[in-house]
Amino acid sequence: MSRRVHFMNWSRTTALSVAAIVCLTMAGDACAELIPTPNFSDHDIPSTRVVEAPSVVWNAVDVGVLLVALSLASYFALVVRSRKYLLWLSVASLLWFGFWRRGCVCPIGATQNVTLATFDGTYVVPISVVAFFVLPLIFTVFFGRTFCASVCPLGAVQELVSVRNVRVPRWLDQALSVIPYVYLGLAVTLAATGTAFVICRYDPFVGFFRLSGNASMMIYGGSLLVVGFFVGRPYCRYLCPYGALLRLTSRVSQWHLRIPPTACIQCRLCEDACPYGAIEEPTESPSVEQLQRERKRLVVLLFMTPFIVGLFAWAATGWRGTLAGWHFDIRLAEALKQEDLGLATEPNTATEAFRGSRRSPEQLYEAAATHRDRFAIAASLLGAYIGLVLWGKVILLTLRRGRQEYTPNKSHCVSCGRCFQHCPVELVRIGLIDNVEQMTHETHEVAT
């Protein structure tokens, strides 16, 4: 105590630097000898004031809103068949989940929480987050991607700006639509290893929802919106990892939206209606010989699958360094080693802080080594998965099936309802025209 009192009386200009030197030259623990908090005659020592956190009830409310929105979206898309209602609902979802709840939590990001919880028993995943992940998938298995139609705030933003309809060439569309699966694999790998939540880090629109964000985020989101002006829903079609899951689920959906309310009359009026390239035209059903040939080809392709997958798994072992580079402990261990070897050029707050902590470098190196081993396995698994995705795409492209109608492609259709009003059968249903010929005649006259 006396040392402190003396110290207080020293010359003012040197006091601070001396304090620094005294404390820094003594090993950390010596500094634990603190200046006691005084007892005042008539002044109570206040308590730190902290502000209460928003109630967890909001989480339950969110799940409720999600359920209602999903039900309404499915009802509007499949029963009412109203583009207008779907659009208003998406505006409402955008306001609620986007601007009011500021973009968190969303099913796309929840994929990572659920993954991490699966692989790391110590990680706590709130039950509401699990609900956000599972509910849209369950709705999709029955009604198609009605979640994308008007519940997802990211989808809603893009839906609202999608005003021009530039057709993406089929081959390019097919190639780009593989990206979401790869992105999903990467995000799951990084989440499972406790490395990062990349989906959240590269969420394009969350900056808009919060009306703040760093420049690169805003540029990324802004350019996606500009692209989305001409090419419908670029994030949904070529990036969204949850969309990849929804596509798989929607493929087997029970009551997916149809373009005509009853039988398709093949007037071709809806052919170009979908800005998302999801409408497929009728095709001849293959002949018996064709079918036999295709079946043989399918057997060959299926037989090749394990080899392709194995090849990718093997090739992917090279990625483990890149993947591991995302992990904090591994980066820190590397920086520490560099410094010890005298190769480091810049001072590093992380290593500085680490040297001041109680963890020993040996502990860190050991942890880093364990993580590296894990990444070796993770990289191969990711490679195998990507191989499977690519090969699966190839197989699907070679399969042909006969279609009698203009149908939305169940995996790519987001149930937005834009095509409805292009269909004369639908227009008759809602009473806008008396019979289909009123529309089909016109086009035939133009055609001839």
Partner 1 sequence: MSSVPTDYPIASNREQQLQERRKFLQNGLRISGVLAAGTFGGFLAGRRGKAEATRWQIDPDKCVGCNNCATQCVLAESAVKCLQCFDMCGYCDVCTGYFSMNYLSLDTAAESQMCPTGAIARQFIEEKAGQRFFEYTIDESLCIGCGKCVKGCALMNGSLYLQVMHDRCVNCNECAIAVSCPTQAFDRLPANRPYRVKQSVYPLIQQKAAIPERDDARQLLREVSPP
Query: Which stretches of the chain bind ligand SF4, using CB under 6 A?
Result: 108, 148, 152, 154-155, 235-236, 240, 242-243, 246, 257, 273-274, 276, 278-279, 408, 413-419
- The sign of the dihedral angle between the CA atoms of 47, 48, 54, 59 is negative
Cβ proximity to ligand SF4, 266 vs 398, nearer residue: 266
CB of 150 to partner 1, least distance (A): 22
Phi, psi of 138 (to 5 degrees): -65, -40
Min separation Cβ 179 and ligand SF4, Å: 12
Q: Which of residues 387-406 bind partner 1 (CB under 8 A)?
A: 401-402, 404
Binding residues for partner 1 restricted to 109-168, rule: CB under 8 A: 109-110, 112-114, 117-118, 121, 124-128, 130, 134, 137-138, 141
293 belongs to the binding site for partner 1 (CB under 8 A): no
- Which residue, among 153, 51, 173, has the nearest Cα to 106 in the 3D structure? 153
90 makes contact, choosing from partner 1, ligand SF4, none, with CB < 5 to 8 Å by partner type, with none
Name the residue nearer to ligand SF4 (CB basis): 272 or 340.
272
Q: Does residue 37 touch partner 1 according to CB under 8 A?
A: yes
Does 40 help bind partner 1 (rule: CB under 8 A)? yes
Least separation, in Å, of the C-beta of 207 and partner 1?
A: 7
Q: Which residue's CB is nearer to partner 1, number 35 or number 166?
A: 35
- What residues from 62 to 91 belong to the interface with partner 1 (CB under 8 A)? none
Structure tokens at 234: 């670029």
Q: Residue 339 and residue 38: Cα distance in Å, rounded?
A: 43
Angle between helices 288-315 and 361-398 (to 10 degrees): 170
Q: How far apart are CA 329 and CA 102, in angstroms?
A: 31
Among the listed ranges 155-163, 164-172, 245-253, 301-309, the one in contact with partner 1 (CB under 8 A) is 245-253
3-state secondary structure of 279: strand
> Least distance to ligand SF4 from the beta carbon of 98, Å?
11
Query: Do residues 254 and 142 lie in contact, with contact meaning Cβ atoms separated by under 8 Å?
Result: yes
Q: Per CB under 8 A, which of residues 338..377 are in contact with partner 1?
A: 348-350, 352-354, 356-357
Regarding 193 and contact with partner 1 (CB under 8 A), the answer is no
Q: Exposure pattern of 17-41 as b/e (b: 16+ CB <10 Å)? A: eeeeeeeeeeeeeeeeeeeeeeeee
The answer to the question of residue 440 lying near partner 1 (CB under 8 A) is yes
137, interface contact from partner 1, ligand SF4, none, CB < 5-8 Å by kind? partner 1
End-to-end CA distance of the chain: 103
Minimum distance between the CB of residue 96 and partner 1, rounded to whole angstroms? 15
CA dist 110 and 199 (Å) reads 9
Task: Please say which residue, 114 or 225, places its beta carbon nearer to partner 1.
Answer: 114
Query: Tokens 């020293």 sit at which residue?
Result: 10
Of 236, 260, 280, 279, nearest to 81 by C-alpha is 260
Question: Interaction with partner 1 in 271-290: which residues (CB under 8 A)?
Answer: 282, 284-285, 288
CA distance 308 to 259: 38
- Both tokens of 442, joined, read 């016109």
Instruction: Tell me the C-alpha distance between 441 and 298, whole Å.
Output: 43
Answer yes or no: are the C-beta atoms of 147 and 136 closer than 8 Å.
yes
Q: Does 2 bind partner 1 (CB under 8 A)?
A: no
**Does 439 interact with partner 1 (rule: CB under 8 A)?**
no
Q: Which does 46 bind (CB under 5 to 8 A by kind): partner 1, ligand SF4, none?
A: partner 1
Opening angle at CA 75, ends 263 and 206, nearest 5: 120
Binding flag, residue 15, partner 1 (CB under 8 A): yes
Choices 174-182, 204-212, 361-369, 389-397 (CB under 8 A): range interacting with partner 1: 204-212
Cβ atoms of 93 and 151 within 8 Å: the answer is: yes
Shortest Å, Cβ 280 to ligand SF4: 9
Among residues 3, 12, 345, 434, which is the contact residue for partner 1, using CB under 8 A? 12
**Nearest residue (CB) to ligand SF4, 320 versus 410:** 410
CA dist list (Å): 333 to 179, 193, 273, 360, 362: 32, 17, 55, 11, 10
Distance CA 448, CA 446 (A): 6
Smallest distance, ligand SF4 to C-beta of residue 192, A: 21
Choosing from 98, 144, 180, 207, the residue that interacts with partner 1 (CB under 8 A) is: 207
